[in-house]
Structure 1
Amino acid sequence: MSTYKFYDTATKPEEVYKSLSKDILNLTIKPGQVITEQEICEKYNISRTPSRDVLQKLKNDGLVISIPYKANYVTLLSIETIKQFIYMRRVLEIAVIKDFIENLDDKQIHKLESNLDSQASLLQSDFTAEEFYRLDGEFHAIWFSATNKLKVWEQIQKLQVHYTRFRMLDIVVIKDFQSIFNDHQKLVESIKNRDIENIERHITDHLNSGFARLGDKIHTEYANYFIHE
Protein backbone atom coordinates (compact mmCIF):
# COMPACT_ATOMS: atom_id res chain seq x y z
CA MET A 1 0.00 0.00 0.00
CA SER A 2 1.34 3.44 -0.88
CA THR A 3 2.07 5.55 2.18
CA TYR A 4 2.15 9.25 1.45
CA LYS A 5 1.62 10.58 4.95
CA PHE A 6 2.23 9.12 8.38
CA TYR A 7 0.25 10.26 11.40
CA ASP A 8 2.05 11.12 14.63
CA THR A 9 -1.03 10.66 16.79
CA ALA A 10 -3.73 8.02 16.72
CA THR A 11 -6.34 8.60 14.03
CA LYS A 12 -10.01 7.80 14.52
CA PRO A 13 -11.10 4.68 12.58
CA GLU A 14 -13.75 6.66 10.67
CA GLU A 15 -11.09 9.11 9.49
CA VAL A 16 -8.85 6.21 8.45
CA TYR A 17 -11.73 4.66 6.52
CA LYS A 18 -12.49 7.96 4.74
CA SER A 19 -8.83 8.51 3.91
CA LEU A 20 -8.33 5.02 2.46
CA SER A 21 -11.66 5.12 0.63
CA LYS A 22 -10.70 8.43 -0.97
CA ASP A 23 -7.26 7.13 -1.96
CA ILE A 24 -8.80 4.06 -3.58
CA LEU A 25 -11.49 6.01 -5.44
CA ASN A 26 -9.03 8.57 -6.80
CA LEU A 27 -6.56 5.80 -7.76
CA THR A 28 -3.81 6.91 -5.39
CA ILE A 29 -4.09 3.29 -4.25
CA LYS A 30 -4.31 1.28 -7.45
CA PRO A 31 -6.70 -1.57 -8.37
CA GLY A 32 -5.09 -4.87 -7.43
CA GLN A 33 -2.78 -3.27 -4.87
CA VAL A 34 -2.26 -5.08 -1.56
CA ILE A 35 -3.47 -3.46 1.67
CA THR A 36 -2.31 -5.01 4.93
CA GLU A 37 -3.47 -4.49 8.49
CA GLN A 38 0.11 -3.81 9.52
CA GLU A 39 0.54 -1.00 7.00
CA ILE A 40 -2.71 0.63 8.11
CA CYS A 41 -1.62 0.37 11.75
CA GLU A 42 1.76 1.94 11.01
CA LYS A 43 0.52 4.67 8.71
CA TYR A 44 -2.37 5.85 10.88
CA ASN A 45 -0.98 4.90 14.28
CA ILE A 46 -3.91 2.67 15.20
CA SER A 47 -4.13 -0.81 16.69
CA ARG A 48 -5.05 -4.07 14.97
CA THR A 49 -8.73 -4.10 15.95
CA PRO A 50 -9.72 -0.75 14.37
CA SER A 51 -7.51 -1.61 11.39
CA ARG A 52 -9.57 -4.78 10.83
CA ASP A 53 -12.79 -2.79 11.22
CA VAL A 54 -11.64 -0.32 8.55
CA LEU A 55 -10.76 -3.15 6.17
CA GLN A 56 -14.16 -4.74 6.75
CA LYS A 57 -15.93 -1.48 5.85
CA LEU A 58 -13.87 -1.22 2.67
CA LYS A 59 -14.83 -4.81 1.84
CA ASN A 60 -18.50 -4.02 2.46
CA ASP A 61 -18.17 -1.10 0.02
CA GLY A 62 -16.70 -3.37 -2.64
CA LEU A 63 -13.39 -1.51 -2.59
CA VAL A 64 -11.32 -4.33 -1.09
CA ILE A 65 -11.44 -8.10 -1.45
CA SER A 66 -9.85 -10.59 0.92
CA ILE A 67 -8.31 -13.79 -0.41
CA PRO A 68 -7.99 -16.30 2.46
CA TYR A 69 -4.42 -17.13 3.50
CA LYS A 70 -3.09 -14.57 1.04
CA ALA A 71 -3.87 -10.86 1.40
CA ASN A 72 -6.35 -8.01 1.08
CA TYR A 73 -6.43 -6.48 -2.39
CA VAL A 74 -8.07 -3.38 -3.83
CA THR A 75 -10.77 -4.71 -6.14
CA LEU A 76 -10.14 -4.67 -9.86
CA LEU A 77 -12.47 -2.71 -12.13
CA SER A 78 -15.19 -4.75 -13.80
CA ILE A 79 -15.90 -3.61 -17.36
CA GLU A 80 -19.24 -5.44 -17.35
CA THR A 81 -20.26 -3.80 -14.05
CA ILE A 82 -19.26 -0.38 -15.39
CA LYS A 83 -21.33 -0.89 -18.55
CA GLN A 84 -24.38 -2.02 -16.58
CA PHE A 85 -23.99 0.91 -14.17
CA ILE A 86 -23.85 3.33 -17.12
CA TYR A 87 -27.03 1.77 -18.49
CA MET A 88 -28.81 2.20 -15.15
CA ARG A 89 -27.57 5.75 -14.64
CA ARG A 90 -28.51 6.72 -18.19
CA VAL A 91 -32.11 5.56 -17.69
CA LEU A 92 -32.41 7.30 -14.32
CA GLU A 93 -30.71 10.53 -15.36
CA ILE A 94 -32.79 10.97 -18.51
CA ALA A 95 -35.98 10.37 -16.51
CA VAL A 96 -34.95 12.93 -13.88
CA ILE A 97 -33.99 15.53 -16.51
CA LYS A 98 -37.41 15.10 -18.14
CA ASP A 99 -38.97 15.94 -14.76
CA PHE A 100 -36.50 18.79 -14.37
CA ILE A 101 -37.41 20.56 -17.61
CA GLU A 102 -41.13 20.42 -16.82
CA ASN A 103 -40.59 23.12 -14.19
CA LEU A 104 -37.43 24.67 -15.60
CA ASP A 105 -37.10 28.32 -14.64
CA ASP A 106 -34.51 31.09 -14.70
CA LYS A 107 -33.22 30.12 -11.26
CA GLN A 108 -32.36 26.58 -12.37
CA ILE A 109 -30.86 27.79 -15.64
CA HIS A 110 -28.68 30.17 -13.61
CA LYS A 111 -27.46 27.25 -11.47
CA LEU A 112 -26.49 25.28 -14.57
CA GLU A 113 -24.74 28.22 -16.19
CA SER A 114 -23.01 29.16 -12.94
CA ASN A 115 -21.59 25.65 -12.67
CA LEU A 116 -20.43 25.83 -16.29
CA ASP A 117 -18.73 29.15 -15.51
CA SER A 118 -16.95 27.51 -12.58
CA GLN A 119 -15.81 24.67 -14.83
CA ALA A 120 -14.56 27.14 -17.44
CA SER A 121 -12.65 29.12 -14.81
CA LEU A 122 -11.14 25.93 -13.42
CA LEU A 123 -9.90 24.92 -16.87
CA GLN A 124 -7.94 28.17 -17.02
CA SER A 125 -6.21 27.51 -13.70
CA ASP A 126 -3.71 25.08 -12.21
CA PHE A 127 -6.34 22.59 -11.05
CA THR A 128 -6.45 18.98 -9.92
CA ALA A 129 -8.49 16.14 -11.40
CA GLU A 130 -10.36 15.87 -8.09
CA GLU A 131 -11.45 19.52 -8.31
CA PHE A 132 -12.86 18.98 -11.78
CA TYR A 133 -14.53 15.73 -10.75
CA ARG A 134 -16.21 17.54 -7.83
CA LEU A 135 -17.66 20.21 -10.14
CA ASP A 136 -18.76 17.49 -12.55
CA GLY A 137 -20.69 15.79 -9.74
CA GLU A 138 -22.26 19.06 -8.61
CA PHE A 139 -23.35 19.72 -12.19
CA HIS A 140 -25.24 16.43 -12.49
CA ALA A 141 -26.69 16.80 -8.99
CA ILE A 142 -28.51 20.01 -9.98
CA TRP A 143 -31.46 18.25 -11.66
CA PHE A 144 -31.68 15.61 -8.95
CA SER A 145 -31.85 18.34 -6.29
CA ALA A 146 -34.36 20.47 -8.21
CA THR A 147 -36.73 17.51 -8.63
CA ASN A 148 -36.45 16.43 -4.99
CA LYS A 149 -34.60 13.25 -5.97
CA LEU A 150 -31.34 13.70 -4.08
CA LYS A 151 -31.88 10.31 -2.43
CA VAL A 152 -31.70 8.77 -5.91
CA TRP A 153 -28.47 10.68 -6.55
CA GLU A 154 -27.04 9.50 -3.22
CA GLN A 155 -27.82 5.88 -4.12
CA ILE A 156 -26.13 6.35 -7.48
CA GLN A 157 -23.00 7.57 -5.68
CA LYS A 158 -23.01 4.52 -3.41
CA LEU A 159 -23.32 2.12 -6.34
CA GLN A 160 -20.62 3.59 -8.56
CA VAL A 161 -17.53 2.05 -6.91
CA HIS A 162 -16.23 0.80 -10.26
CA TYR A 163 -17.51 3.73 -12.33
CA THR A 164 -15.93 6.39 -10.08
CA ARG A 165 -12.50 4.82 -10.45
CA PHE A 166 -13.06 4.33 -14.17
CA ARG A 167 -13.91 8.04 -14.51
CA MET A 168 -10.84 8.99 -12.47
CA LEU A 169 -8.67 6.84 -14.75
CA ASP A 170 -10.18 8.61 -17.75
CA ILE A 171 -9.65 12.04 -16.20
CA VAL A 172 -6.13 11.41 -14.85
CA VAL A 173 -4.76 9.52 -17.87
CA ILE A 174 -6.41 11.25 -20.83
CA LYS A 175 -6.81 14.69 -19.22
CA ASP A 176 -9.35 15.72 -21.88
CA PHE A 177 -11.24 18.01 -19.52
CA GLN A 178 -12.27 20.27 -22.38
CA SER A 179 -14.18 17.43 -24.03
CA ILE A 180 -16.12 16.76 -20.82
CA PHE A 181 -16.83 20.48 -20.45
CA ASN A 182 -18.07 20.62 -24.05
CA ASP A 183 -20.45 17.72 -23.30
CA HIS A 184 -21.84 19.70 -20.37
CA GLN A 185 -22.35 22.79 -22.54
CA LYS A 186 -24.27 20.81 -25.17
CA LEU A 187 -26.42 19.22 -22.48
CA VAL A 188 -27.30 22.59 -20.93
CA GLU A 189 -28.29 24.00 -24.32
CA SER A 190 -30.55 21.00 -24.96
CA ILE A 191 -32.10 21.37 -21.50
CA LYS A 192 -32.75 25.08 -22.07
CA ASN A 193 -34.39 24.20 -25.40
CA ARG A 194 -36.31 21.32 -23.78
CA ASP A 195 -34.97 19.12 -26.56
CA ILE A 196 -35.60 15.60 -25.24
CA GLU A 197 -34.09 13.82 -28.25
CA ASN A 198 -30.78 15.63 -27.94
CA ILE A 199 -30.80 15.33 -24.14
CA GLU A 200 -31.02 11.55 -24.49
CA ARG A 201 -28.24 11.53 -27.08
CA HIS A 202 -25.93 13.80 -25.08
CA ILE A 203 -26.42 11.87 -21.82
CA THR A 204 -25.75 8.56 -23.59
CA ASP A 205 -22.63 9.86 -25.32
CA HIS A 206 -21.40 11.63 -22.18
CA LEU A 207 -21.68 8.64 -19.86
CA ASN A 208 -20.02 6.31 -22.39
CA SER A 209 -17.32 8.73 -23.52
CA GLY A 210 -14.71 7.35 -21.12
CA PHE A 211 -14.53 4.13 -23.13
CA ALA A 212 -13.91 6.11 -26.31
CA ARG A 213 -11.21 8.27 -24.71
CA LEU A 214 -9.36 5.42 -23.01
CA GLY A 215 -9.68 3.15 -26.04
CA ASP A 216 -7.10 0.37 -26.25
CA LYS A 217 -5.39 1.52 -23.04
CA ILE A 218 -8.02 -0.52 -21.16
CA HIS A 219 -6.63 -3.69 -22.75
CA THR A 220 -2.96 -2.71 -22.89
CA GLU A 221 -1.37 -0.12 -20.62
CA TYR A 222 -3.98 -0.44 -17.84
CA ALA A 223 -5.09 -4.02 -18.45
CA ASN A 224 -3.97 -5.01 -14.94
CA TYR A 225 -6.55 -2.60 -13.47
CA PHE A 226 -9.45 -4.53 -14.99
CA ILE A 227 -11.26 -7.83 -14.81
CA HIS A 228 -11.73 -8.80 -18.45
CA GLU A 229 -14.89 -10.92 -18.32
Structure 2
Amino acid sequence: MVIKKRKSIREQVYDYLKEEIVNGKIQEGSRIVEEEFAEKLNVSRTPLREALRMLEFEGLVEAREKGGVTVPKTTKKDVEEVVKIRIALEKVIFEDLFLKVTLEDIIKLEKNINKVNKIINDNLKSLEVFKYFSEFNKILYNISDLPRVVNLINNLNLYLKKFRKISAENTERRLNAHQDHIMIVKLIKEGKKMEAIEVNKKHLLEAKEFLIKQVEN
Protein backbone atom coordinates (compact mmCIF):
# COMPACT_ATOMS: atom_id res chain seq x y z
CA MET A 1 0.00 0.00 0.00
CA VAL A 2 1.32 3.45 -0.96
CA ILE A 3 0.56 6.15 1.57
CA LYS A 4 0.29 9.56 -0.03
CA LYS A 5 1.20 12.34 2.31
CA ARG A 6 -0.99 15.40 1.98
CA LYS A 7 0.75 18.71 2.36
CA SER A 8 0.10 20.57 5.57
CA ILE A 9 -1.38 24.08 5.52
CA ARG A 10 2.06 25.43 6.44
CA GLU A 11 3.64 23.69 3.43
CA GLN A 12 0.91 24.93 1.09
CA VAL A 13 1.35 28.51 2.32
CA TYR A 14 5.13 28.13 1.96
CA ASP A 15 4.80 26.86 -1.63
CA TYR A 16 2.44 29.69 -2.55
CA LEU A 17 4.59 32.47 -1.07
CA LYS A 18 7.79 31.03 -2.52
CA GLU A 19 6.30 30.91 -6.01
CA GLU A 20 4.99 34.48 -5.72
CA ILE A 21 8.38 35.76 -4.53
CA VAL A 22 10.48 33.85 -7.07
CA ASN A 23 8.29 34.98 -9.98
CA GLY A 24 8.33 38.58 -8.78
CA LYS A 25 4.61 38.80 -8.04
CA ILE A 26 5.53 39.77 -4.51
CA GLN A 27 8.08 42.41 -5.39
CA GLU A 28 11.45 43.03 -3.78
CA GLY A 29 11.19 45.50 -0.93
CA SER A 30 7.57 44.52 -0.28
CA ARG A 31 6.44 43.93 3.29
CA ILE A 32 4.48 40.75 3.92
CA VAL A 33 1.72 41.74 6.33
CA GLU A 34 0.55 38.71 8.31
CA GLU A 35 -3.03 39.90 8.75
CA GLU A 36 -3.37 40.68 5.06
CA PHE A 37 -1.99 37.37 3.81
CA ALA A 38 -3.76 35.28 6.43
CA GLU A 39 -7.05 36.76 5.24
CA LYS A 40 -6.10 36.41 1.58
CA LEU A 41 -5.16 32.74 1.96
CA ASN A 42 -7.92 32.01 4.46
CA VAL A 43 -5.53 30.56 7.04
CA SER A 44 -4.64 31.36 10.62
CA ARG A 45 -1.47 33.25 11.42
CA THR A 46 0.28 30.20 12.90
CA PRO A 47 0.91 28.29 9.62
CA LEU A 48 1.66 31.60 7.91
CA ARG A 49 4.34 32.44 10.48
CA GLU A 50 5.81 28.94 10.18
CA ALA A 51 5.94 29.30 6.40
CA LEU A 52 7.64 32.69 6.73
CA ARG A 53 10.26 31.18 9.04
CA MET A 54 11.01 28.55 6.39
CA LEU A 55 11.37 31.26 3.76
CA GLU A 56 13.58 33.30 6.08
CA PHE A 57 15.86 30.29 6.53
CA GLU A 58 16.22 30.13 2.73
CA GLY A 59 16.93 33.86 2.52
CA LEU A 60 13.81 34.65 0.49
CA VAL A 61 12.42 36.94 3.22
CA GLU A 62 14.07 38.75 6.10
CA ALA A 63 12.81 39.80 9.51
CA ARG A 64 12.50 43.53 10.21
CA GLU A 65 13.84 45.02 13.44
CA LYS A 66 10.43 46.53 14.17
CA GLY A 67 8.59 43.29 13.42
CA GLY A 68 7.20 41.72 10.28
CA VAL A 69 9.10 40.49 7.25
CA THR A 70 10.06 41.92 3.86
CA VAL A 71 11.31 40.49 0.58
CA PRO A 72 14.95 41.61 0.41
CA LYS A 73 16.28 43.37 -2.67
CA THR A 74 18.77 41.43 -4.77
CA THR A 75 22.14 43.18 -4.77
CA LYS A 76 25.22 43.07 -6.99
CA LYS A 77 26.97 41.16 -4.20
CA ASP A 78 24.17 38.56 -4.20
CA VAL A 79 24.54 38.00 -7.95
CA GLU A 80 28.33 37.74 -7.72
CA GLU A 81 28.13 35.22 -4.89
CA VAL A 82 25.46 33.06 -6.53
CA VAL A 83 27.34 32.92 -9.84
CA LYS A 84 30.66 32.21 -8.11
CA ILE A 85 29.14 29.24 -6.28
CA ARG A 86 27.35 28.03 -9.40
CA ILE A 87 30.62 28.05 -11.39
CA ALA A 88 32.22 25.84 -8.72
CA LEU A 89 29.25 23.46 -8.54
CA GLU A 90 28.86 23.15 -12.30
CA LYS A 91 32.57 22.30 -12.61
CA VAL A 92 31.76 19.30 -10.40
CA ILE A 93 28.81 18.50 -12.70
CA PHE A 94 31.05 18.52 -15.79
CA GLU A 95 33.72 16.40 -14.11
CA ASP A 96 31.21 13.57 -13.62
CA LEU A 97 29.26 14.26 -16.81
CA PHE A 98 32.26 13.39 -18.99
CA LEU A 99 32.58 10.03 -17.21
CA LYS A 100 28.92 9.11 -17.69
CA VAL A 101 27.64 10.72 -20.90
CA THR A 102 26.17 8.37 -23.53
CA LEU A 103 25.18 8.72 -27.18
CA GLU A 104 21.54 8.86 -26.04
CA ASP A 105 22.37 11.82 -23.79
CA ILE A 106 24.04 13.67 -26.65
CA ILE A 107 21.01 13.08 -28.85
CA LYS A 108 18.80 14.63 -26.15
CA LEU A 109 21.05 17.69 -26.00
CA GLU A 110 21.05 18.04 -29.79
CA LYS A 111 17.26 17.77 -29.92
CA ASN A 112 17.08 20.60 -27.40
CA ILE A 113 19.46 22.69 -29.52
CA ASN A 114 17.39 22.03 -32.66
CA LYS A 115 14.17 23.13 -30.93
CA VAL A 116 15.81 26.39 -29.89
CA ASN A 117 17.23 26.93 -33.40
CA LYS A 118 13.68 27.21 -34.73
CA ILE A 119 12.58 29.97 -32.36
CA ILE A 120 15.75 31.71 -31.15
CA ASN A 121 15.17 34.81 -33.31
CA ASP A 122 11.50 35.18 -32.36
CA ASN A 123 11.25 37.73 -29.55
CA LEU A 124 7.67 36.66 -28.91
CA LYS A 125 8.89 33.20 -27.93
CA SER A 126 11.54 34.28 -25.42
CA LEU A 127 9.82 32.49 -22.53
CA GLU A 128 9.72 29.30 -24.58
CA VAL A 129 13.44 29.71 -25.21
CA PHE A 130 13.95 30.18 -21.47
CA LYS A 131 12.09 26.91 -20.91
CA TYR A 132 14.41 25.09 -23.33
CA PHE A 133 17.49 26.68 -21.75
CA SER A 134 16.34 25.33 -18.37
CA GLU A 135 15.73 21.94 -19.98
CA PHE A 136 19.27 21.99 -21.42
CA ASN A 137 20.73 22.48 -17.95
CA LYS A 138 18.48 19.75 -16.56
CA ILE A 139 19.77 17.28 -19.16
CA LEU A 140 23.37 18.09 -18.20
CA TYR A 141 22.57 17.76 -14.51
CA ASN A 142 20.80 14.41 -15.03
CA ILE A 143 23.78 13.01 -16.91
CA SER A 144 26.08 13.79 -13.97
CA ASP A 145 23.75 11.92 -11.61
CA LEU A 146 24.72 14.09 -8.64
CA PRO A 147 21.34 14.89 -7.05
CA ARG A 148 22.72 16.72 -4.01
CA VAL A 149 24.86 19.02 -6.15
CA VAL A 150 21.90 19.63 -8.48
CA ASN A 151 19.67 20.45 -5.52
CA LEU A 152 22.18 23.07 -4.36
CA ILE A 153 22.27 24.63 -7.84
CA ASN A 154 18.48 24.68 -8.11
CA ASN A 155 18.16 26.40 -4.74
CA LEU A 156 20.73 29.00 -5.81
CA ASN A 157 18.86 29.68 -9.04
CA LEU A 158 15.70 30.58 -7.12
CA TYR A 159 17.27 33.88 -6.09
CA LEU A 160 17.83 34.96 -9.68
CA LYS A 161 14.96 33.26 -11.51
CA LYS A 162 13.05 36.44 -12.33
CA PHE A 163 16.22 38.07 -13.67
CA ARG A 164 17.13 34.99 -15.72
CA LYS A 165 13.78 35.28 -17.48
CA ILE A 166 14.63 38.87 -18.36
CA SER A 167 17.92 37.66 -19.88
CA ALA A 168 15.96 35.37 -22.23
CA GLU A 169 13.97 38.40 -23.40
CA ASN A 170 17.18 40.20 -24.37
CA THR A 171 18.03 39.25 -27.98
CA GLU A 172 21.83 39.53 -27.67
CA ARG A 173 21.99 37.63 -24.39
CA ARG A 174 19.63 34.94 -25.73
CA LEU A 175 21.70 34.41 -28.88
CA ASN A 176 24.99 34.31 -26.99
CA ALA A 177 23.65 31.78 -24.50
CA HIS A 178 22.41 29.58 -27.34
CA GLN A 179 25.82 29.66 -29.05
CA ASP A 180 27.43 28.65 -25.74
CA HIS A 181 25.08 25.67 -25.52
CA ILE A 182 25.96 24.64 -29.08
CA MET A 183 29.68 24.83 -28.28
CA ILE A 184 29.27 22.87 -25.03
CA VAL A 185 27.53 20.01 -26.87
CA LYS A 186 30.26 20.02 -29.54
CA LEU A 187 32.98 19.79 -26.86
CA ILE A 188 31.13 17.02 -25.03
CA LYS A 189 30.98 15.02 -28.28
CA GLU A 190 34.72 15.57 -28.77
CA GLY A 191 35.51 14.58 -25.18
CA LYS A 192 37.12 17.96 -24.41
CA LYS A 193 36.26 18.34 -20.74
CA MET A 194 38.45 21.29 -19.74
CA GLU A 195 37.39 23.30 -22.79
CA ALA A 196 33.72 22.63 -21.99
CA ILE A 197 34.24 23.74 -18.39
CA GLU A 198 35.84 26.98 -19.63
CA VAL A 199 32.99 27.69 -22.07
CA ASN A 200 30.47 27.10 -19.30
CA LYS A 201 32.42 29.41 -16.97
CA LYS A 202 32.45 32.13 -19.65
CA HIS A 203 28.72 31.60 -20.15
CA LEU A 204 28.03 32.12 -16.45
CA LEU A 205 30.33 35.15 -16.13
CA GLU A 206 28.60 36.85 -19.07
CA ALA A 207 25.25 36.06 -17.49
CA LYS A 208 26.53 37.60 -14.24
CA GLU A 209 27.39 40.89 -15.94
CA PHE A 210 23.96 41.04 -17.56
CA LEU A 211 22.16 40.20 -14.30
CA ILE A 212 24.12 42.85 -12.38
CA LYS A 213 22.90 45.48 -14.83
CA GLN A 214 19.30 44.37 -14.23
CA VAL A 215 19.76 44.48 -10.45
CA GLU A 216 21.32 47.94 -10.53
CA ASN A 217 18.64 49.45 -12.81
Higher helix fraction (1 or 2): 2
| Aligned 8 A contact 1:64 1:75 in 2 | yes
| Cα distance, 1:36 vs structure 2 | 1.0
Cα deviation code 1:157-199 (max 9, x no counterpart): 2234433344245346x36433322221222112212223431
TM-aligned CA deviation for residue 75 of structure 1 = 1.5
Shift of residue 144, structure 1, vs aligned partner:
2.8
Match of 1:8 in 2: none
Match of 1:196 among 180, 193, 196: 193
Match of 2:61 among 53, 61, 64: 64
Please say if 1:210 is aligned against 2:203. no
Where do 5+ consecutive residues of structure 1 fail to align?
1-10, 222-229
The sequence identity of aligned pairs, in percent, is 25
Deviation (angstroms), 1:201: 2.6
**Matched residues, number:** 208
Unaligned runs of 5+ in 2: 1-7
TM-score normalized with structure 1 length:
0.76
**Which whole-Å deviations, capped at 9, do the CAs of 1:127-171 have from their partners, x for residues lacking one?**
463x54443333223233223212210122223443334424534
The question of 1:92 aligning with 2:89 is answered yes
Q: 2:123, 2:159 → 1: CA distance? A: 29
Q: Please list the CA deviations of residues 80-116 of structure 1 after superposition, one character each: whole Å capped at 9, or x if unmatched.
A: 2322332222123123223322343211101211222
Deviates more, 1:200-209 or 1:120-129: 120-129
List aligned pairs for 1:14-163, cutoff 5 A: 14-120=11-117, 123=120, 127=125, 129=127, 131-163=128-160
**How big is the shift at 1:21?**
0.7
Q: Which moved more, 1:189-198 or 1:207-216?
A: 207-216
Residue identity opposite 2:103 in structure 1: D
Residue type of the alignment partner of 1:65: E
Deviation digits for residues 2-59 of structure 1 (CA, Å, limit 9, x no counterpart): xxxxxxxxx9432222122112112222221111112212221222222212222211
Taking structure 2 as the reference length, the TM-score comes to 0.79
- 1:184 paired to 2:181: yes
Distance 1:45 1:139, change over 3 A: same
Partner of 1:4: none
* Root mean square deviation, CA, Å: 2.8
